[in-house]
Amino acid sequence: MEVKTSTKEKFTVISGLPTELSVNLTEDFCRELTSYLQAPVKNIVLDLSGVQSMDVESAEALVRTQQAFYEGGASFVVCGLERPVEDFLDAQDLLELMNVTPTESEAWDIVQMEEIERELLDDEEA
């Protein structure tokens, strides 16, 4: 799979995924994504525009990956969901577990807000 990455100041946008996400593909992809937790720019915006279908295991892997990012003090925001994928995730009760925005611009806003929130929480703990 040849995805596109674009690193911005506070996040990396991952796009160009295939139209169908299978469990084998997604598990390998999610392992690669978690390597960003060690990178200087840890936050991920995953652009799923163009993805038309995925299986339950793939969706669950994305949810687990998002949770790993939040546990690691980083943001993981999904944007650009196509209607069939959004409906599928909703039917599986997974959509509500994911941080989803319609556009990359809105995803950027969420990353910024979460960065500020983490900074404030760190200040309170110090």
- pLDDT, tens digit, for every residue of 47-104? 999 999 999 999 999 999 999 999 999 999 999 999 999 999 999 999 999 999 999 9
pTM of the predicted model over 0.85: yes
Average pLDDT along the chain = 94
Report the amino acid identity of residue 11: F
Determine how β-strand 11-15 pairs with β-strand 4-7: antiparallel
Q: What total number of domains does the chain contain?
A: 1
State residue 2's pLDDT score.
Answer: 76
Distances (CA, A) of 25 to 45, 54, 102, 123: 18, 10, 24, 40
State residue 123's pLDDT score.
Answer: 76
Q: What are phi and psi of 72, to 5 degrees?
A: -85, 10
DSSP characters over 37-77: GGSSS-EEEEE-TT--EE-HHHHHHHHHHHHHHHHTT--EE
Task: Check which CATH number belongs to the domain holding 107 and give it.
Answer: 3.30.750.24
- pLDDT, tens digit, for every residue of 100-115? 999 999 999 999 999 9
Q: What is the domain extent for residue 115?
A: 4-125
Report the amino acid identity of residue 62: L
